[in-house]
Amino acid sequence: NAGVTQTPKFQVLKTGQSMTLQCAQDMNHEYMSWYRQDPGMGLRLIHYSVGAGITDQGEVPNGYNVSRSTTEDFPLRLLSAAPSQTSVYFCASSIYVTGNTIYFGEGSWLTVV
């Protein structure tokens, strides 16, 4: 069991570039989600999915896109990177949103210059 695998761990982007943060889980979890963590603020939900083919917006979705073509994978796309998207990003999964345990990826440190 690898748990939640998130890549890359570190990335520097130029303003306007696009990129995809990858997230994969091997636990057959239905619920997957992306968060960003900024200094002095709690984790904030960007997008989430309750199963393959189903995604929805969270608290801060602007500038990000997601898809869920398989149960295992939930990539997060930055469409046109902006300095305001400099943050630490976490992917998480659980059996359901009320599952006993939430499994987090190790985080992706993204800097947009």
Residue 98 as a binder of another protein (CB under 8 A): the answer is yes
| Smallest separation, CB 30 to another protein (Å) | 10
Question: Nearest-CA neighbor of 88 among 69, 108, 113?
Answer: 108
Report the side by side order of strands in the sheet with 4-7.
Answer: 4-7, 19-25, 76-78, 64-66
Confirm or reject binding of residue 48 to another protein (CB under 8 A).
yes
Query: What is the torsional sign of CA 28, 21, 54, 43?
Result: positive
Q: Closest distance between another protein and the C-beta of residue 63, in Å? A: 19
Nearer to another protein, 17 or 52 (CB): 52
Binding site for another protein (CB under 8 A): 31, 33, 35, 40-45, 48, 50, 56, 58-59, 88, 90, 92, 97-104, 106-107
